[in-house]
């Protein structure tokens, strides 16, 4: 980040392996507690899909000294907000509240890390909640099944990468109390977590609270991570998904992504901004306004489950495009390829790269102005990179990507033979498909 916006960081590790990052900011009397665990959908086993997401719900079902409902009541009664989310490579939880109530959030997070209530009643309650969430948020929402289930199956060959993050009804029904307890004991350990606290805090006092609440929670022996390696993709892949809820057709176009923190990673993120970032981007100017073929689109390195900050390879750079019915999906794919090939052949205009850099700089500064997004960034950089100071230095690494590197990323990483395309067609699913 620019020097005038440098984020202060204090980093230490408890004897049980819990990594802690403190970042004081006294501009507003608010603080965020962000706890991220190194467990996501990609560690799940066959027959146990959806466990990471199910367990995110279980974490709000009460703990040893905070019975069911207490977590929500205490945070909300103190003027705060809270939530959790499940990702391919981690699960995270946060509380935002007035800074003079910081100890409440720290105590609640420590209590459920130490002694979550895992019993048959809580499991059955959350099993039904997750199944209902799937019905409402995925099965009955246009494009959701294509994005969450069909796209990973097409894009990846390794089961750990390709299975659904939400899980199946069959696997959810098969979960036992013993399974859930084992999952908790295996992954919800201090040595598999990062605690980031940002906002109006006093570092010495906060450190004392963290050590008092978390210091005596025992570490656990962590299992070896699964092998996520993907075979090289040497030929294009295609698929069709018929969506009875969709009103207009759509298409997903994606390519295998580079290793995190390599020059290609930085170059591809900058290329994405050139192609899709804002109303001055090539896609908006040429596909939405020019050809008037695309209605709207979204894209990212790591789409649909991640962005550059939490992207972890193996992953994909992908673009989701809603398009007008007058255009066929192959025409949309051709138009996307034409824009990519234009960069690969001729590179970037100086003004275009300057715009992309300004776009990224503006977004990054805006994203890090709240204590919640700042704490999340610090926690994710520590978990994924072992270096929370990327919050201060990463922007310069993106901005340093040269025109030649960006052109090469278009030529090499977004090559046609590496492409996967999922066509989403409005209409009922055909028999046998």
Identify the bridge partners of residue 122 per DSSP, sorted by sequence position: none
**pLDDT tens digits for 341-376?**
999 999 999 999 999 999 999 999 999 999 999 999
What does the pLDDT read at residue 3? 44
Taking residues 400-407, report their average pLDDT.
97
Taking residues 423-427, report their average pLDDT.
96
- Decide if 41 contacts 130 (C-beta within 8 A): no
Residue 255: closest CA among 274, 273, 230: 230
Taking residues 156-184, report their average pLDDT.
91
What residues contact 165, with CB distance under 8 A and at least 6 apart?
40, 41, 50, 52, 53, 86, 87, 88, 148, 305
What does the pLDDT read at residue 167? 84
Torsion sign over Cα 134, 140, 143, 149: positive
User: What pTM was estimated for this model as a whole?
Assistant: 0.94
- As a whole number of angstroms, the distance between CA 195 and CA 366 comes to 23
What does the pLDDT read at residue 428? 72
Residue 90 confidence (pLDDT) above 60 = yes
* CA 236 centroid distance within chain: 26
According to DSSP, residue 16 is labeled T
What does the pLDDT read at residue 429? 58
With cut-offs at 50, 70 and 90, classify the pLDDT of residue 433: very low
Residue 205: closest CA among 102, 104, 78, 111: 102
- C-alpha dihedral, 163 to 276 to 402 to 395, nearest 10°: -70
What does the pLDDT read at residue 4? 56
**pLDDT tens digits for 102-115?**
999 999 999 999 99
**pLDDT tens digits for 8-54?**
999 999 999 999 999 999 999 999 999 999 999 999 999 889 989 99
What does the pLDDT read at residue 135? 87
**pLDDT tens digits for 263-286?**
999 999 999 999 999 999 999 999
According to DSSP, residue 235 is labeled S
Domains of the chain plus CATH, in order, are 3-214 (3.30.830.10), 237-426 (3.30.830.10)
Residue 119 confidence (pLDDT) above 80 = yes
């Amino acid at each position: 980040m620019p020097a005038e916006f440098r984020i202060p960081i204090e980093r230490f590790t408890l004897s049980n392996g819990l990594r802690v990052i403190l970042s004081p900011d006294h501009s507003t009397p608010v603080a965020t507690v962000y706890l991220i665990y190194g467990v996501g959908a990609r560690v799940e086993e066959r027959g146990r899909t959806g466990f990471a997401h199910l367990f995110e719900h279980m974490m709000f079902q009460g703990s040893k000294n905070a019975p069911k409902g207490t977590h929500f009541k205490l945070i909300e009664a103190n003027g705060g907000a809270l939530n959790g989310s499940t990702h391919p490579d981690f699960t995270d939880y946060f509380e935002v509240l007035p800074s003079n109530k910081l100890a409440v959030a720290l105590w609640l997070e420590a209590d459920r890390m130490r002694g979550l209530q895992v019993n048959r009643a809580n499991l059955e309650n959350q099993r039904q909640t997750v199944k209902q969430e799937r019905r409402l948020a995925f099965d009955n929402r246009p494009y959701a099944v294509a994005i969450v289930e069909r796209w990973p199956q097409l894009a990846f060959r390794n089961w750990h990468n390709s299975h659904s993050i939400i899980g199946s009804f069959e696997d959810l029904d098969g979960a036992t109390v013993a399974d859930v307890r084992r999952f908790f004991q295996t992954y919800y350990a201090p040595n598999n977590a990062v605690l980031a606290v940002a906002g109006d805090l006093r570092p010495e006092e906060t450190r004392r609270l963290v050590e008092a609440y978390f210091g005596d929670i025992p570490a656990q022996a962590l299992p070896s991570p699964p092998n996520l390696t993907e075979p090289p993709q040497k030929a294009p892949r295609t698929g069709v998904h018929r969506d009875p809820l969709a009103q207009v057709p759509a298409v997903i176009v994606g390519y295998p992504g580079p290793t995190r923190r390599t020059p290609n990673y930085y170059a591809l993120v900058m290329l994405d901004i050139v192609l899709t970032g804002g109303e001055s981007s090539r896609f908006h100017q040429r596909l939405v306004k020019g050809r008037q073929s695309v209605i709207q689109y979204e894209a990212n390195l790591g789409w649909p489950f991640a962005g550059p900050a939490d992207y972890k390879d193996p992953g994909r750079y992908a673009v989701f495009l809603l398009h007008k019915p007058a255009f066929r999906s192959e025409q949309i794919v051709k138009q996307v390829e034409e824009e990519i090939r234009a960069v690969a052949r001729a590179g970037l205009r100086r003004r275009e790269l300057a715009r992309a850099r300004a776009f990224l700089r503006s977004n990054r500064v805006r994203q890090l102005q709240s204590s919640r997004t700042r704490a999340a960034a610090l926690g994710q950089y520590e978990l994924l990179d072992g270096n929370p100071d990327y919050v201060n230095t990463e922007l310069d690494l993106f901005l340093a990507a040269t025109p030649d590197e960006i052109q090469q990323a278009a030529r090499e990483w977004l090559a046609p033979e590496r492409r996967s395309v999922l066509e989403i067609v409005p209409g009922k699913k055909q028999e046998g498909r």
